[in-house]
Amino acid sequence: MIRSNGFKKINIAIFISGNGSNLKSLIKFSLKKNSRFIINLVISDNLKAKGLIYAKKYKIKKRIINYKNIKIAENKILFYLKKNNIQLICLAGFMKILTKNFIKKFGGKILNIHPSLLPKYKGLNTHQRVIQNKDKFSGCTVHYVNSKLDSGKIILQKKIKIFKHDNSVKLSKRILKQEHILYPKALRKVLINL
């Protein structure tokens, strides 16, 4: 699609596995005046991902990928990405790890959001680990995806304070709210430099 001022919008695919609250916030952002991107495709490895309702609501094409065989799954995804001219991928709670081969073959940029202040707490159960360790701060990070888990170059981070009576549920809710602000901001930063 061409914007009224002549700029071409970037085509984006969002990958999800679950609730899709980040997908929702990115869709809302994409619909704003002057947004530099369109979400053309939602990929999910999980047929029951709640977030798929947002694809339906906003009439975005969705594809459910069976991950029993990762090679077949990734080839299918690459096919859909090409078919829809996708230039950039945003992982938003996608629970599968993309292979080196996939990252190389896609060739475009891939972003991820992680609920910790990377490089601290890569992987799962970040909030529990942060609470157990009695950290004073936590937060979220948007970063580029490379072949090592949660290790690509950091684009933006938001730091938040941990309160005395916090637990992992309270903390995850507070951080998730910040994620919804941080991801569109990071995307804007990336797109300005494209």
Please list the active-site residues.
114
Which residues of this protein are in contact with ligand GRF, per CB under 6 A?
16, 18-22, 51, 92-93, 113-115, 140, 176, 179
H helical segments located in the chain = 21-30, 52-57, 70-83, 100-106, 126-132, 168-192
* Tokens 């959001």, located at residue: 113
Question: Toward ligand GRF, which CB reaches closer, 20 or 184?
Answer: 20
Helix (H, G, I), strand (E, B) or coil at 4: coil
Q: Which C-beta is closer to ligand GRF: that of 31 or that of 194?
A: 31
At closest approach, how far in Å is the CB of 169 from ligand GRF? Answer: 12
The partner residues of 37 in beta bridges, in order of sequence, read 10
Min dist. Cβ of residue 89 to ligand GRF (A): 14
Nearer to ligand GRF, 102 or 121 (CB): 121
- Residues paired with 110 in a beta bridge: 89
Nearest CA among 143, 123, 130 for reference residue 170: 130
Which residue sits closest to ligand GRF, CB atoms considered? Answer: 93
Q: Report d(CA 37, CA 143) in Å as an integer.
A: 18
H-helix or E-strand containing 159? strand 154-161
Q: Which is nearer to ligand GRF, 33 or 48 (CB)?
A: 48
CB of 153 to ligand GRF, least distance (A): 17
Shortest distance in whole angstroms from residue 131 CB to ligand GRF: 15
Say if residue 119 is preceded by a cis peptide, omega within 30 of 0.
Answer: yes
